Amino acid sequence: MVSVSTPSQKPVPLPAGDDGVSTDVLIVGAGPSGSAAAIHAARAGLEVLLIDAQSFPRDKTCGDGLTPRAVHQLEKLGLAEEITRAYSNRGLKLHGFGGSVEAPWPDSAFGNVGSAMTRASLDNLILRTAGEFGAVTVWESATADTPRFSGSRLESVVVNHAGRRRTVRAGHVIVADGVRSVFGRKLGRIWHRGEVYGIAARSYCPTPYSGEDWIHSHLELRDESGVVQPGYGWIFPLGDGTVNLGCGALSTDSRPAQINTKKLLTFYASQQRPQWRLGTERDVASALLPMGGAVSNVAGPNWMLIGDSAACVNPLNGEGIDYGLETAELAVSLISGGPGRDFTLLWPHVLRENYGEAFLLARTAARALTYPTFLPLVGPIGFRGPLAQLLMPAAARLMGNLITEEDGDIMARLWRGAGAVVAAARRGTPLWDSTVR
C-alpha cells in the first residue's frame, strides 16, 4: 500500500499500485482556462498539477477569434506579442440586410488589437508556457474520473493516467473541463437548457486573403430555402493561408433552432467562396454552447468551475476564450487570497459581480433573436436606416465584449442601465446558481 498525505490530514490508504500524489492545486482541463489558471497559480507560489484527457497539440472546435479583451489577458500571461506578431486585426466588419458596416476595435482598457490563432496552436502555446514553471507538473492523457469527498470538501480525485488509476489529493481543485463538463457534472454542475444556448460549426478554408486585417460577421444568415436563421456566420482570417469559417445559431428548449449547422456552413461557404476565393472547407466540426452563466452548482468549499464549464460564454457572439482566461485569474486570486475560505457561495457571487448583469442582458437579447420574426424586422433598420452608423459600431463593441465598468460613455451607461433593469426583472433566473440574489 502507498499513501498520500498533507500535513494537516491523516494519510489515506490507497489501493495497491496507486502511486498517489499531493499538490496545492489540481487543475482539470488544459484548455486556455486551465492552462492560464496554472500560470497564475504558479506565479502566486502554488504547486500545481495540470491534467488533460487529451495529448497536445489537440484541436478544439472554435472560431479561433481573440478579441482585444482576450489579447489583454494573453498579455498578462506574457504571450500577446508572439500571438499578435503572427496575426492581428483591427476590428469587425458586419454584413447583412443589404448593408455593411466597419467597426474598428475601440480604444478601451483592453487595447485595440484583436487576433486569431488555431486552437491547436494557441492551447499548446499556453500549456507549454505553464509547463515551463517549475511549480507546474503537466499530465497529458490523464482524465479526472472519480471525485472523493470528505464531508462536502473535495478531498481527492482519482485520475486515469496513461492506463493507471492515480489518486490526487489537492488543497484546491479548479475545474476547467470545457463545455460538456463531464467531471463538473460529477460535482453537481447543472446546465439550464431553458436558457438560450448556441449551436455552432466551424471549418478551415484556404484563401489568398488570410492576411485580411478585419474579421467578418454576416448577421443575415439564410438557409438554402432563403429563411433567415437566428444566428450569424463568421470569417476569421488566421494569417496562415486559411480562414476559420463558421456559423452559429441560438436556441432554447422551447424554440430549438431547426437547422443542421454543418449543412448551413457548407451553404454559407458556397456563398462566400467567390469573394474570398475560398478552397474547399475542411475539418468541419460542430458543438453545443451553454452560455451566459446558465449553470448552477459551480463551486464547493475548495473547488470552482471556470471558463466553459461555468458557461462563461457571451450569448451574443459565442466567445469565451477571454472569459476563460479572466475566470482563471479570478479563481486563483481567491485561492491565493488566504486560507480557510469556502467558495461554495463566494465563487458564484464573484462571477455574478463581474459578469452577472452583462450576461443576463445578453442572454435576454439573444433570446429575442430566437424568435423567427425578430431579425428580419430589426436587421434592415440596423444596417440600412439612418441609425446604422451609430448602431453597428455599438453592436461591434457589444459583440467584442468590450464594455467595462470603467467606461463612462453613453453607450456603456445605457448598456449597464439596461443590465440592471433586466437583472431586476429576471430575478429568479439561473445565473451560476438556482436564483439571482
Enumerate binding residues for ligand FAD (CB under 6 A). Answer: 28-34, 51-54, 60-65, 70, 143-144, 176-179, 182-183, 200, 202, 246, 287, 289, 307-308, 313, 318-322, 324
Q: How far is the CB of 308 from ligand FAD (least distance, A)?
A: 4
Q: How far apart are CA 319 and CA 208, in angstroms?
A: 26
Q: How far is the CB of 289 from ligand FAD (least distance, A)?
A: 5
Task: Using alpha carbons, select from 69, 61, 59, 84 the residue that is nearest to residue 327.
Answer: 69
Beta carbon nearer to ligand FAD, 24 or 322: 322
Nearer to ligand FAD, 178 or 419 (CB): 178
Residues 307, 70: Cα–Cα separation, whole Å: 13
79: left (phi over 0), alpha (psi -120 to 50) or beta: alpha
How far, CA to CA in Å, does 360 sit from each of 363, 366, 410, 435? 5, 10, 20, 12
Shortest distance in whole angstroms from residue 424 CB to ligand FAD: 28
**Which three cell numbers mark 8?**
494537516
Residue entry with cell 492551447: 123
Decide whether 53 or 369 has the Cβ nearer to ligand FAD.
53
* Phi and psi angles of residue 279, each rounded to the nearest 5 degrees, phi first: -80, -175
Residues contacting 256, CB < 8 A, separation 6+: none
Q: Judged by CB, which is closer to ligand FAD: 44, or 120? A: 120
Q: Using CA atoms, how far apart are residues 176 and 29, in angstroms rounded to an integer?
A: 5
Nearer Cβ to ligand FAD (305/388): 305
Instruction: Tell me the HSE value of 185 on the side-chain side, using a 13 A CA sphere.
Output: 7
Neighbour count for residue 3 (Cβ, 10 Å): 13
Q: Which is nearer to ligand FAD, 118 or 364 (CB)?
A: 118
* Shortest separation between residue 390's beta carbon and ligand FAD, angstroms: 26
**Shortest Cβ distance from residue 417 to ligand FAD (Å)?**
26
Quick check: helix, strand or coil at residue 353? helix
Report the nearest approach of ligand FAD to the CB of residue 265 (Å). Answer: 10
Q: Which is nearer to ligand FAD, 30 or 39 (CB)?
A: 30
Comparison of 63 and 393: residue with beta carbon closer to ligand FAD: 63
Total number of residues shown for the chain? 437
Q: How far apart are CA 286 and CA 304, in angstroms?
A: 27
Within 13 Å of residue 299, how many CA atoms lie on the same side as its CB? Answer: 24
Least Cβ distance, residue 8 to ligand FAD (angstroms): 26
The three three-digit cell numbers of residue 307, written as one number = 471558463
Output the smallest distance, CB 182 to ligand FAD, in A: 5
